[in-house]
Structure 1
Amino acid sequence: MRIGSTRLLATAVAAALALGLTACSSDSTEPDAASPSGGSGNATGTIKEGLKITFLPKQVNNPYFDISDNKGGKVAVEEFKGTFAQTGPSEGSPSAQVSYINTLSQQQTDVIVISANDKDAVCGALTEAKTAGAKVVTYDSDTRPECRDIFVNQATGDGIAKNQIKLISDAVGPDGGEIAILSASANATNQNAWIELMKTELAKPEYSKLKLVDTVYGDDKDEKSFQEAQGLLAKHPNLKGIISPTTVGVAATARYLSGSSYKGKVALTGLGTPNQMRAFVKDGTCKAFALWNPADLGYLAAYAAGALASGIITGKEGDKFKAGKLGEYTVGANGEVVLGDPFTFDAANVDQFNFG
């Protein structure tokens, strides 16, 4: 559950321009100490110093996670005087994260902050890590709730689905037609949840002229995503639009469309960063796309980790904690904390943001 609306990226243009990656919040509160949470056991509400907090993304050397972890999580951990690290696989396969979880548990890491490649594959290792004393925060992509303490969600799945379908509908136009989805990996928890919600959204009367004909997976690899986009157009010659709700996929698809005969004929939207997509918006390949600030997501996940490891919160519904410059957050049902709503970028505003 999110407190207030000042953290929405739409209200943060000036801050983003001034402070770059970590400044898409209009809350200027200093990140000194977390506020007390009702009934969570830490009377002072102060995050302990010296906590070892390690981020374990779906894959390292991914531009999205470089921002969320190193421009967001690291900043937050340094603010409350902890020790930050990032580790993880170069391949985003379902089981690739397991050995890293085991190692972090053996190293007695205080909090593992993980974006899960698969909601089930990492659960055994995470449960063992929790038994050994580590706290577990998922961010970006969740596990089963019993396998972690808190999930920091970038936006509600329903909000993302509505945003993506509205954008592709607007881009395709009133006549509608065939559309396809180019996702990340077939096991990505967040991607699969969004796709199912998109299907629900497409069933509404206002989208009756849109027909989802295919879903393909680029595994968050640039080359494979590029090839999958190419394959979609070869397989579906009447395709009118592509949704790619992944930063790697949408940029690769845009690159393919921009250099092909399909430019201006096949619409594109998805979840991307301004720096990735700016040129493609300006050349007409993509009219609009969406995202949240990934740096803020990592920043919030780090503060949730610090509050959890300090006993300020336990992960139960109603717990409150202070997330530095982002302000106060409340834990919702199933241990979920929501960053905010997706924000739409287009030709009118994309130059006002500089991240990704």
Structure 2
Amino acid sequence: MTSFLTSRRMRGGLTGVAVAAMVLTTAACGGTTRGEDEGSDAGAEATASADPDAEIPADLAFAFLPKQLNNPYFDIAAEGAESAVAEVEGELNVTGPSEASASSQVSYINTLTQQGAEVILTSANDPNAICSALDQARSGGAKVVTFDSDTDPECRDLFISQATSEGIAQAQIDIMAEQIGGSGQVAILSATANATNQNAWIALMEEYAAEEYPDMEIVATVYGDDEDEKSFQETQGLLQTYPDLKGIISPTTVGIAAAARYLSGSEYKGQVALTGLGTPNQMREFVKDGTVTAFALWNPEELGYLAAYAGAALAAGQITGEEGETFEAGELGEYTIEADGTVVLGEPTTFDADNIDDFDF
């Protein structure tokens, strides 16, 4: 069987046109990725308490709880988790809310706890709202791995980060600056107001833009709540409110696709730049018709795949979640746990007209 990783490498792999700013992000995070174990005392002590050779139990009960169902980004991440769970011969239950509100995941976590889920993989809609429910799940023996968007580190065992927040923020600002000549009014179209990852990226984007591009003014941040129609309307509202707007950054796959759809059928096509985080498949038509020049993203399928393997390693006792421990993530290879129980997937890719057809996700 040709795996999703192998098939993607045959098409050119993840390297593509890598985001140049990302090379600085490993140092910024203060840790290592993919087996670059620095051999700290803390890491050695943590590894001694784990059993790296422990076998992953058969028939592990995994639960995949995204911010919301029927979101293309999380659908792809679920496919990655499904591949990993199949490889470790476990069982996967995909469940979740239809809306990405702050507390919408709580009842699902409670149900999963009652059902005896052994590994819960979740992307938090809010940094605090699900903590109590996750604590109960862990008290019942479940291992909790957050991915994409974290909760309070005290409420989970590991967080699988797409890349460092600094790198993600800098990449989006750099792409926008290149398109608008480093000056002009820019707005941000985010997901929900409580989204941990979005808020971290936005704060860092504002800081980086002020330092590196003083003539670029971020005039507003609006929220489409990761809903297509609302994101579409917020895009329209931004353009009406700010007639001199030169660009929109949308660090959410739902938002960037909705904004692109609006721009592509409007007088602003080719006049207002758009970038952010999107998948090649959803953005291909907008790159080819000239609405979007470039955007960035990691592979969400790999993110779900890594999260599932991390959960399996926790359940097996191969790792405990301490800094310095390492584990094997199937075809992705070896990863090292960094500070605060974080594992970094790797560097995103910038997609443009030259390379977008090399990817299929």
Whether TM exceeds 0.5 here: the answer is yes
Counterpart among 180, 185, 200 of residue 187 in structure 2: 180
**What are the equivalent positions in structure 2 for 1:135-154 lying under 5 Å apart?**
135-154=143-162
Compared with structure 1, are the counterparts of its residues 129 and 246 closer, same or farther at alpha carbon in structure 2 (3 Å cutoff)? same
Are residues 164 and 25 of structure 1, via their aligned partners in 2, closer, same or farther at CA, if it must alter by over 3 Å?
A: closer
For the aligned residue pairs, the C-alpha RMSD in angstroms reads: 1.7
Aligned residues: 328
SS in 2 for 1:329: strand
- Quote the residue 2:253 is aligned against: 247
Aligned to 2:287: 281
Within-5 A mapping of 1:303-318: 303-318=309-324
Q: Measure, in 2, the Cα distance between the counterparts of 1:353 and 1:112.
A: 29
1:76-115 to 2 correspondence within 5 Å?
76-115=84-123
Amino acid at match of 1:61: N
TM-score (norm 1): 0.89
The reply on whether 1:54 has 2:32 as its aligned counterpart is no
Distance 1:265 1:19, change over 3 A: closer
Structure 2 vs 1, CA of residues 202 and 43 (structure 1 numbering), >3 Å: closer, same or farther?
A: closer
User: Per-residue displacement from partner, 1:109-161 (whole Å, max 9, x unpaired)?
Assistant: 10111100000000011111111111110000000000000000011100001
The amino acid of 1:162's aligned partner reads: Q
Question: 1:171 — aligned with what?
Answer: 179
Letter in 1 for 2:359: F
**CA offsets 1:148-204 (integer angstroms, 9 cap, x no match):** 000000111000011000001011124x10000000000100000000010110111
Partner residue, 2:200? 193
Contact 2:15 2:349 (C-alpha < 8 Å) held by counterparts: no
Distance in 1 (CA, whole Å) between partners of 2:53 and 2:289 is 54
Q: Work out the CA distance in 1 between the residues paired with 2:14 and 2:353.
A: 19
2:43 maps to none
CA distance in 2 between counterparts of 1:136 and 1:43 reads: 19
| Deviation at residue 225 of structure 1 after TM alignment | 0.4
Which of 133, 136, 142 is the aligned partner of 1:125?
133
Aligned partner of 1:16 in structure 2 is: 8
Alpha-carbon deviation of 1:45?
Answer: 3.3
Please list every run of 5 or more consecutive structure 1 residues that lacks an aligned counterpart in the other structure. 1-11, 27-36
Give the counterpart of 2:353 among 331, 347, 352.
Answer: 347
How far apart are the structure 2 equivalents of 1:16 and 1:171? 29
The CA deviation string for residues 293-352 of structure 1, in whole angstroms up to 9 with x for no partner, is 000000000000000011000000011100000000000000000001121000110111
> 2: CA distance between counterparts of 1:293 and 1:47?
25
Preserved CA contact (<8 Å) 2:11 2:358: no
Distance 2:279 2:96 in 1: 22
Q: d(CA) in 1 for partners of 2:14 and 2:81?
A: 14
Of 212, 215, 219, which residue of structure 2 is paired with 1:209?
215
Secondary structure at the aligned position of 1:191 is classed as helix
Tell me by how many angstroms 1:19 deviates.
7.8
After TM superposition, the structure 1 stretch with the greater mean CA deviation from structure 2, 305-314 or 128-137, is 128-137
Q: SS of 1:340's equivalent?
A: coil
**1-structure distance, mates of 2:52, 2:345:** 25
Q: Deviations over 1:23-63 (max 9, x none)?
A: 7599xxxxxxxxxx932433523222111010100001110
Distance 2:229 2:165 in 1: 27
Distance 2:105 2:176 in 1: 33
Does residue 230 (structure 1) correspond to residue 249 (structure 2)? The answer is no
Once residues 9 and 332 of structure 2 are traced to their aligned partners in structure 1, the CA distance between those partners, rounded to angstroms, is 17
Which of the residues 29, 38, 48 maps onto 1:39?
48
SS across alignment from 1:143:
coil
Q: Distance in 1 between matches of 2:249 and 2:149?
A: 19
* Contact kept? 2:52, 2:327, Cα under 8 Å: no
Percent identity between the aligned chains?
Answer: 62
Residue 328 in structure 1 maps to residue 320 in structure 2: no
Moved over 6 A (4+): none
Q: Provide the residue aligned with 1:66 in structure 2.
A: 75
What amino acid is the match of 1:298? G
| Alpha-carbon distance between aligned partners in 1 of 2:275 and 2:83, rounded to the nearest angstrom | 30
CA distance in 2, matches of 1:173, 1:41: 52
Change (3 A) 1:232 1:202: same
Residue 7 of structure 1: aligned partner: none
Distance 1:25 1:48 in 2: 34
Deviation, 1:267, is 0.3
Q: Which residue of 1 aligns with 2:31?
A: none
User: Alignment partner for residue 338 of structure 1, among 337, 341, 344?
Assistant: 344
Q: Give 1:280 deviation, angstroms.
A: 0.8
